[in-house]
Amino acid sequence: MTRVLFVCIGNSCRSQMAEGFARAYGQGVWEVESAGLMPATIIAPPTREVMYEKGIDLGDQLPKPLVWVKPETFDLIVSLCGCPVPEAGSVPVRDWDIQDPIGQSMKVYRRVRDQIEANVLALLEEHRAR
């Protein structure tokens, strides 16, 4: 199975959303993880809330540093923050550059969530077409 790593700065919002959608929609198709360049201590509560609105429970997911997931062992890395992922080595990196919702309204969290969901579904469709 293809291994995909979703990365953002804090691994508290965007990459957690992407991991949640990828697990829900791509079960049995790929293995997914998420990590942060400078991980937060918790997943932002609004992240859990807006994902739960979509029927996705992030459960015991928690922010992780890149070193815990070993980026070089993945087939694809998706950066959701527009930041380089120096630990990527020769692994291909896609840049989605999605707004950070931290400190923003629930409307922004929902818009970011929906954008990430669409991107994950498109990536999954691309993967299945190969």
Which distant-in-sequence residues (6+ apart) come within 8 Å of 41 by Cβ? 63
Q: Could you list the active site residues?
A: 8, 81
The rounded percent of the chain whose pLDDT value lies above 70 is: 100
pTM: predicted TM-score of the whole model, two decimal places: 0.96
Q: Indicate the domain borders of the chain.
A: 2-129
128 falls in which pLDDT band (50, 70, 90)?
A: confident
2-129 CATH fold: Rossmann fold (3.40.50)
Tens of pLDDT, residue by residue over 62-109, are 999 999 999 999 999 999 998 889 888 899 999 998 999 999 999 999
Neighbours of 48 (CB within 10 A): 20
Spatial separation of the C-alpha atoms in residues 82 and 74, rounded to whole Å: 19
